[in-house]
Chain A
Amino acid sequence: MYPHERSLVERLKDKPFTILGVNSDSSKRYKKAIEENNITWPSFWDGGRTGGPIATAWAVRGWPTIYIIDAKGVIRFKNTRGKAMDEAVDSLLKEMESD
């Protein structure tokens, strides 16, 4: 998970793109995870539990859950992972360039 996300962030560092996390760990564990895995992107911290307010509002029942949102704020993909995630993001970037 982390290596793939790191490489995606690295590859698209000059593009209008970000990973935005919503983390459900305890604050201690979350801070440790950030350090150990070199996580450079921002995350909301959802209160230290899986039933936190953001996960609840987004009806998240399984982790990880992924939404890909375009530059206009529209939900475009759900639970797209791995190679498919790269392809989805690339397609949205292409769409922005042709707009």
Chain B
Amino acid sequence: MKAKKLLIMLTAAAGLAVAQTDAKNKIADQISGLIETQDAAVKKFMSKVRALPREKQREAYQKGYPQFDDTIEALYALVEESPAEAASLKAISWISSHSRGKELKPEIFAALEKHHLDHRELSEVILSFYGAKGENTQAFLATVVEKSKAQDSRGSALYIQAIQIERDTAKTTQYKALVERLNTEHAGFEVRGRKVGAMMKATLEAKEKLAIGKSAPEIIGKDVDGKEMKLSDYKGKIVVLDFWGDW
């Protein structure tokens, strides 16, 4: 009797586990399916546009570019249904990188904070916030920087915080502090193989050397015929230094 009961319990537990795994896979499959279908539609559209004569490409592109709204809504629904699933992270990245700078729904940030704050793949989600500048995004990035246990995610959050204010001249001090922190706490920080932390720092240093009131750094180069020339050759003259191209 006891053994039989135990067996039933075990069977039930196994059944439940299988059902849970199935549900998990189903969500993951649905998310992948939606993304693959939409990506395939874009790919097909783009090859169609590229086959057109050059002068017609722009118009065709503007008129017929596949709309993402339905896919975004469907992905949102799946994420809201199973916010704790790891597959949700993939959906959220996709939504964010296809929302043209619009920030995610507030409940998504809540889900990310509750279920995925320490998840390794959160970093990819954060990098997809590149163009989204809303208040909720900023609050979430600050939370990640302070609380996430995943080193990569903290680095990515600092990087995106910096990127978002890079061009805001009123926030130069804040920007410098972020770049400094990125380089000290995440030495060698890379995004897809590019050492972006070091690059931001180098650009900052170059800009400081090139501020109004500073001595212009020497330029030693060549003209197009290979003749050497220097900026200092023109000392004593006012120089309009013009970085140009005929394009």
Q: Which of A1-40 contact B (CB under 8 A)?
A: 1, 5, 8, 15-25, 27, 29-33, 37
- How far is it, in angstroms, between the C-alpha of A43 and the C-alpha of B245 when the chains are bound? 11
A22 touches B243 (CB 8 A): yes
- How far is it, in angstroms, between the C-alpha of A27 and the C-alpha of B226 when the chains are bound? 11
**Size bracket, chain B contacts:** 20 to 34
Contact of A69 among B211, B216, B222 (CB under 8 A): B216
B242 touches A22 (CB 8 A): yes
B192-220 CB mask vs A (1 if < 8 Å, else 0) is: 00000000000100110011111111010
Q: Is B54 an interface residue (CB 8 A)?
A: no
A24 touches B240 (CB 8 A): no
- How far is it, in angstroms, between the C-alpha of A67 and the C-alpha of B214 when the chains are bound? 12
- How far is it, in angstroms, between the C-alpha of A77 and the C-alpha of B221 when the chains are bound? 23
Q: Is B55 an interface residue (CB 8 A)?
A: no
A63 touches B243 (CB 8 A): yes
Determine the chain B residues whose CB is within 8 A of the CB of A89 once the complex forms: 238, 240
Q: Is B237 an interface residue (CB 8 A)?
A: yes
Q: Between A and B, how many residue pairs show CB distances below 8 Å?
A: 145
A23 touches B206 (CB 8 A): no
CB distance from B3 to the nearest CB of A (A): 74
Contact of B244 among A42, A63, A70, A93 (CB under 8 A): A63
Q: Is B239 an interface residue (CB 8 A)?
A: yes
Size of the A side of the interface (Cβ < 8 Å), in residues, is 55
Looking across the interface, which residue of chain A has its beta carbon closest to that of B218? Answer: A73
Q: Which of A22-75 contact B (CB under 8 A)?
A: 22-25, 27, 29-33, 37, 42-46, 50, 53-55, 57-60, 63-75
Looking across the interface, which residue of chain A has its beta carbon closest to that of B228? Answer: A44
A24 touches B207 (CB 8 A): no
A69 touches B238 (CB 8 A): yes
Q: Is B5 an interface residue (CB 8 A)?
A: no
Looking across the interface, which residue of chain B has its beta carbon closest to that of A96? Answer: B238
The residue in B211, B217, B237, B244 that gathers the most chain A C-beta atoms within 10 A of its C-beta is: B244
Q: Is B235 an interface residue (CB 8 A)?
A: yes
Contact of B224 among A30, A69, A70 (CB under 8 A): A30
Contact of B221 among A19, A37, A54, A69 (CB under 8 A): A54
- 21 of the cross-chain contacts (CB-CB < 8 Å) are A1-B244, A8-B240, A17-B240, A18-B237, A19-B239, A19-B242, A22-B241, A25-B246, A42-B229, A58-B210, A67-B210, A68-B240, A69-B239, A69-B240, A70-B238, A71-B236, A74-B214, A75-B214, A75-B216, A89-B240, A96-B238
What are the nearest 10 A-B pairs in CB distance? A33-B246, A59-B206, A44-B221, A45-B224, A65-B243, A67-B241, A16-B237, A69-B239, A24-B245, A19-B240
